[in-house]
Amino acid sequence: MITHGYPFDPTYGCDEVALRAIRPPALPAGFADFWRATRAATDAVPLRLERLPAADEHRTHRVSMVRFDTLGGHRIGAWLLEPRVGAGELGLIVGHGYGGRSGPELGFLPRQAVALLPCAPGFDLSAHPDLPDVAERHVVQGIADRETYLIRACVASLWSAATALVALHPEVAGHLAYHGSSFGGGLGALALPWDDRFGSAFLEVPTFGHHPLRLQCLCVGSGEAVRRWRATHPEVVEVLRFYDAAGAATLIDRPVLCAPALFDPAVPPPGQWAVANALPRGEILPLTAGHHDNPHGNREQRRLREALKRRFG
């Protein structure tokens, strides 16, 4: 039993058996066409790639900043980490949580990996005066239409990041992987079906899974802003069907390690497990808690790190 002061149950009444039984919602007609068209439109955007020096230091990697364009006219900033010794053997694109990314922090980085850490449109290196930089506003920006929803550009920015990384380091073409947690986990699930450059992925406590369930769950994360928006804009449900990470996960045909939580006040576990269960080639490593103090955190993080080392070196 985890002690907490929330006015709701962050397990949402589900034990692990119940969570493992959750299935993803059906995909809407036109889902694949929409995302394939989005990918094609993204690939047509010239990167205007530039590289800038950075003051940050990393023990095993050189750090610099990169900027490039993506869908919708968004200029993306990213941190680039390159091995100090030897050539890159693996290319990592690393998404971030809904708190943004103020620097090139990275929990897991193989010594011979080249990593690009993009900031989603609106956040930190990708800040813009017309875009919100707080989760509760960002998650409903443009939500009235599937074409204008800001999450679309966030997904596109991951594809553009992969293109930028391969342009900078051609040797990692064919050796790309994606890592994403929370917000970045949900974006990864939406991005991966349409980009076969990624050979594998790691999704931790992924958001945007199973919106029909999420809309029923009180939480302290970005889902609460969507839930409240839907209360006065019921038509948004049709838009959200095209942004369901669990539905998208059914189409990911590559190995994915997924770490969903059993207890999470910010990203309701039923949505996380809907993503994990939907993965055709998924491996699930459950976490006792996400977005909250985890009584078994050190042990579970060691287990997770060992699994990542087996997969990514």
Q: Are 257 and 249 in contact (CB under 8 A)?
A: no
Given this model, what pLDDT does residue 133 score? Answer: 97
Q: Are 142 and 148 in contact (CB under 8 A)?
A: yes
Domains of the chain: 16-307 (3.40.50.1820)
In whole numbers, what is the pLDDT of the chain averaged over residues?
95
First to last CA, the chain: 35
pLDDT digits (tens, 9 = 90+) for 300-311: 999 999 999 888
pLDDT digits (tens, 9 = 90+) for 63-93: 999 999 999 999 999 999 999 888 789 999 9
Residue 54 has pLDDT above 80, yes or no: no
Strands 256-259 and 198-204 turn out to be parallel
Residue 313 has pLDDT above 70, yes or no: no
Percentage of residues of the chain with pLDDT beyond 70: 99
pLDDT digits (tens, 9 = 90+) for 218-273: 999 999 999 999 999 999 999 999 999 999 999 999 999 999 999 999 999 999 99
Q: Are 277 and 24 in contact (CB under 8 A)?
A: yes
Residue 5 burial (10 A CB sphere; 0-12, 13-18, 19+): exposed
